């Protein structure tokens, strides 16, 4: 019971973070645009990435799409880590690792409403 409550809080945290980051990409926030711009992302590509991030966050909420949502979110985080490592930005890559581990932990704990 306690584990389901903790997992529910972790899921809500991941969903909040996904929607927050997705919205920042979609709304073309300057710091996000600068980060992705140096990797060659156009405004359209950034908006698409933001939309995918927000959809992934919503998918996490439902048991039937839980794995797909986590997979998409983890793939997006891994993409950012790879670009940062390519730029030799180890600090930036290290900052992203807890978010990747959060998605992996949520997958391991499974959806709290799964039957």
Longest dimension (CA), the chain: 46
Torsion of CA 21, 98, 102, 4, to 10 degrees: -120
**Which pLDDT score, from 0 to 100, does residue 39 have?**
94
Encode pLDDT of 30-72 as tens digits. 999 999 999 999 999 999 999 999 999 999 999 999 999 999 9
Number of H helices, E strands in the chain: 5, 0
**pTM for the full predicted model:** 0.90
**Which pLDDT score, from 0 to 100, does residue 1 have?**
86
Instruction: For the beta carbon of residue 54, count every other beta carbon within 10 angstroms.
Output: 19
Residue 115 has pLDDT above 80, yes or no: no
Residue 99 has pLDDT above 90, yes or no: yes
């Amino acid at each position: 019971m306690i584990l389901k409550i903790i997992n529910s809080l972790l899921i809500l945290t991941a969903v909040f973070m996904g929607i927050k980051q997705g919205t920042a990409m979609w709304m073309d926030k300057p710091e996000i645009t600068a980060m992705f711009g140096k990797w060659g992302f156009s405004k359209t590509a950034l908006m698409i990435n933001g939309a995918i991030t927000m959809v992934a966050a919503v998918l996490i909420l439902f048991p039937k799409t839980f794995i797909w949502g986590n997979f998409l979110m983890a793939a997006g985080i891994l993409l950012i880590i790879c670009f940062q490592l390519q730029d030799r930005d180890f600090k930036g890559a290290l900052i992203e690792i807890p978010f990747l581990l959060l998605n992996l932990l949520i997958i391991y704990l499974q959806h709290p409403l799964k039957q």
